[in-house]
Every structure is written in C-alpha cells, then in structure tokens.
Amino acid sequence: MSFKANGIIAAMITPLTDTLQVNEKGLRRLVNYLIDGGVHGLFVVGTSGEFYGFSPEQRKEAFQICIDEARGRVPVYAGVNGITTKEAVEYAQMAEEVKADAISVLTPMFVSVTQGELYNHYASIASSTNLPMLLYNNVGKTNVNIAVETATKLSEISNIVGIKDSSGDFTLTSEYIRNTRENKDQFSVLSGRDTLIHACLAYGGHGAITACANIAPRLMADIYDKYVAGDIEGSLEAQYKIAPIRMAFSLGSYPTILKESLELLGIDAGPCFAPVGPMNQENKVVLKNILADAGLLA
C-alpha cells in the first residue's frame, strides 16, 4: 500500500453545541485553523474527539464535515474505536463509505483480551476495509497493551500502515520502531505522547498524532518540519516550548483543557460530554498565562 502515515497529525477535539450536537461551524473552523497551522493530517473522533459520547449518526456527521472541509489538503484519519470487533468493523466500513483517507483503531476497552485475540481483532478489521489502518495503543485508558510481537506481526498485513503509541513508555515505542524497521517504508511508528515527538523522530519514528496540535498547530508542526529539514536544534526547541502546554493537561479533566484553550483562541469548541465539566476559574487563569507565555495569546 502506497499510503504513508507521517508528520504531525492533529488529534482533533470535536466542537459541540450547548445541546451536545456536533457544531458544524466550529468543526469547519478548527479544520482550517489546523491546516493553516501546518499539520500534516487530521484525526477525527478519536480520544481527544470524545468518540465515546457519539451515536453512530453523529460520528458519521463529524467524519463527513471534516472530510468535506479538508478538501484533500491533508489526509483525514477516522477514529473507528469500539469494544467489539463487530462494532469497529461497522465504523471502519462507515469511514470507507464517506471516503476517509485512513482509519485508526484503539485497542478494545473494558474487556481483557489475549494477544492472540488482539491480533485477530485487528486482522478482522483490516480485512473488512480497503482503507489504510493505524493501530492505536493507549494502555493507560484501555488497560490493553499491544505487545511488540503482536504489532510486528500485524505490520505484515498490507493495509495496516502504522501504530500510534500513547503509552508514554519510550522503551515500548522504541521497540516498535526497532522491530518494524525493515518495513519502515510501509509501516510508521507515531508518538502519541506530545512530549516525546522529537525523541521518536531521533530514534527513527515517523511523527506523531498529537492533542497539543489543537492549540498550537504551527509549533507542533515545527518539531517535525525542522527535524526533517535538518534543523535538529530548532526541532528540539519547539519540543521544549510545547512541554508547558502538555503539562497543563492536569488542570482539568481531559479533554477540557483543549476546549478551554480553543475558546481562548477564539474557536467555538463548546462543552465536553458529562461527567467532564469545565475548568475552575483559578485554573483558567493559569492556562491563559501558559498560552500567553507560549506566544499564542496577545
């Protein structure tokens, strides 16, 4: 498969109305803010996009709006997460129907599965679609880890084109890279931890799927663009600059900081699905100062 997953892919929030419907105007504005900021791809209705709160119809609507507004300028990766294989297959086929460029599939959550069952899960989803597919490892959220051996075996399936690793365990990320390096032209390893993007690139990775790109797309893109251009110091400096923003995620329940930040930047992001609520006023002031220090606010 010729599709290549690389660069900075924004793990988009999903703007919502006060009645918790997809805010089309806000979503279209966010798509353009991110593309104008230099990101290399868009990841819609993933973890940052609160996939768990959407009906199938709302998920499809978000896919369609994002794909329509992107207009082929960058690839759109559709989140097709589900607990069961059947559910993920249905979402994968939905993504193909609306002409997404690729899909991303989080490990099952709540259920405990063996590595053999996990392999069969991903292989079944891959066989159900012609779209390029990313594995998504986020053990902190799902309590299911994709073992290096499982990822390596899955990388041999033609339309499984990469893995996003949000574990924060750089040894695990580096082992994904080392064990798939003979297939590096077809299989990409992407950091899912915003503070480890430069390290991932230095070790042979291919970029990142990043939540901080919602807030600072140009700064995030600089980590990758400067690295591939040979400006290693510039890439590292951009990585340093993003660290305080990533550390600010602890100021509220996820992904409220992303939505609160976008509101400060003039993009209507709306509320999060309850039980996640807004940040308290004290933490909003802290966040505003962090964004100002990063040069994102006047």
Catalytic residues: 136, 164
- The tokens describing 9, both together, are 């892919």
- The tokens describing 170, both together, are 């750089």
- The tokens describing 161, both together, are 């084109």
- The tokens describing 143, both together, are 């309590």
Give the amino acid at 269: A
Q: Are 215 and 287 in contact (CB under 8 A)?
A: no
Half-sphere exposure of 159 (CA within 13 A, CB side): 18
Give the amino acid at 139: V
Q: Are 270 and 229 in contact (CB under 8 A)?
A: no
Angle at 198 between CA 43 and CA 46, to 5 degrees: 15
Q: Roughly how many angstroms between the first and final C-alpha of the chain, as a whole number?
A: 45
DSSP 279: P
